[in-house]
Amino acid sequence: MTPAPGPIEELHDLDLAQLPALLPQWTTPRVLRGVVAHWPMVAAAREGATSAVAYLKQFDAAHLPVTATTAPPQAQGRLFYNADMSGFNFRREQIALKVVLDTLLKYQADPAPPSIYVASTTLDTVLPGFSQANALALGVPAPLTSVWIGNRSRIAAHQDVPDNLACVCAGRRRVTLFAPAQVDNLYIGPLDFTPAGQAISLVDFAAPDLQRFPRFGQALAQAQVAELGPGDAVFIPSLWWHHMEGLDAFNVLVNTWWRPVPAWMDGPMNALMLSLLALRDLPPAQRAHWRTLFDHYVFSADADTSAHIPAHARGVLAPLDEAAAANVRSVLRQRLTR
């Protein structure tokens, strides 16, 4: 029998004024029931998809197209690779948002529609004024807010570097979360050839093949799941794997990403890719030595790591700032172009 995930911790009747103080403290997921129930967009969606579409069209920057992802009905909403993983089972096209919204309404009653998905589109670009009309103060550094619009969809489990607050505006969503440590059990695909920029689990959650992916049952046993309705939100911490499903014929989600670090810090995935190039294929004994060095200089580093070196001579071992980071990048560029 396939194991059943447990629930995500839930918070009800949260005082919105407390949210900026709470978010930095959270390192595990939370469902925030009704946290954006006050949004006019949510009120419109509760009247039905037609009202939700009419509300969105008020803000449409009609001169700017959006990228719409479409897949045939047989994909059943799963936007994924093709059969031999030489490509994908969908296509993308630039199209007016109004056309996307009208097409979603047209297919509402169709039992087997094509998949239509506008993913991760900068909210203030495509729907200027929406954020002001549907505000939520998070108090986070350099937030990036995006909108996701589509019909029924199944987005494979993936992870993002930033923290994420995802707010359901229309339709229902099912979110299944896994701690970062479950990477061994999720059967992640290629890092550099992905459907949407992030490596994804190759397991079909609707019909998991436990003969091909036997450890997936272990992941499910540790998973957390929740179904979200209009007005609900989920906090997804950095690097938590998340599988997202749009359950209705019309779905809208608005999410905000942020990283609680200075903007000059580099993306950790760059370090992983460089480590694949430089470390993975070393002899086992040498890899073990490098593991010790990484632990000493990176993962267990503290004030004592370089305390024996005069402060003026610590170089890259000194606390980094924007200028020091720029210098490290310059050195790396020179070394990588040798």
Q: Which pLDDT belongs to residue 331?
A: 86
Q: Is 263 part of any domain?
A: no
**173, 297: one domain:** no
Q: Is 38 part of any domain?
A: yes
**323, 248: one domain:** no
The pTM of the full predicted model, rounded to 2 decimals, is 0.95
Q: Which pLDDT belongs to residue 297?
A: 96
**218, 290: one domain:** no
Q: Is 1 part of any domain?
A: no
Q: Which pLDDT belongs to residue 2?
A: 76
Q: Which pLDDT belongs to residue 3?
A: 80
**Residues of the chain whose pLDDT is less than 70?**
1
Q: Is 155 part of any domain?
A: yes
> d(Cα 13, Cα 11) in Å, to the nearest integer?
7
In CATH, what number is assigned to the domain containing residue 68?
Answer: 2.60.120.650
Q: Count the residues in the chain.
A: 338
**96, 173: one domain:** yes
Q: Would you state the structure tokens that stand for residue 177, as one six-digit string?
A: 């979360």
Q: Is 13 part of any domain?
A: yes
Q: How many domains does the chain have?
A: 2
List the domain range (segments joined by +) for residue 145.
6-258
**62, 211: one domain:** yes
Neighbours of 123 (CB within 10 A): 19
Note whether 78 and 157 are within 8 A (CB): no
**288, 250: one domain:** no
